[in-house]
Amino acid sequence: MASYYIYILASQTQRLYIGVTNNLVRRVQEHKQKLMEGFTSRYNINRLVYYEETNDSRAAIAREKQLKGWLRWRKYKLIESVNPQWRDLAEEWITENAIPERSFTSLRSEVQG
């Protein structure tokens, strides 16, 4: 079954970008390498700070729209609930071309408990 990812990228100044993809590793690499002109390349938004995984493409798109509609403070709170230091989550696995076995979806569920 296919996986879909809702992800949040951040710049060093915490400017955010929210997107959805079916290949998180490839998509993050594209952002990091600035392969496409636009908002993320213009503002150097290339650190993966949050992601969720689902097997439902419609749910992924709906979640992306939902997150985009949130106020900035709420997005920050979501990120910090699983990544308080705003680490680049892709740093550990981007070169290995694999996503960690334990996804942030399960971590988010534990935090919201």
- What's the angle, vertex CA 3, arms to CA 109 and CA 36, rounded to 5? 110
- What's the angle, vertex CA 11, arms to CA 79 and CA 27, rounded to 5? 80
Q: What is the pLDDT of residues 54-101, one digit of tens each?
A: 999 999 999 999 999 999 999 999 999 999 999 999 987 765 555 554
Contacts of 81 (CB under 8 A, 6+ apart): 108, 111, 112
Q: What is the pLDDT of residue 94?
A: 61
102 — pLDDT class (breaks 50, 70, 90) = very low
Largest CA distance in the chain: 39
The structural domains of the chain, with segments of one domain joined by +, span 4-112
More confident residue, 47 or 107: 47
Fold of 4-112: GIY-YIG endonuclease (3.40.1440)
Q: What is the pLDDT of residue 37?
A: 86
Q: What is the pLDDT of residues 19-42, one digit of tens each?
A: 999 999 999 999 988 888 899 989
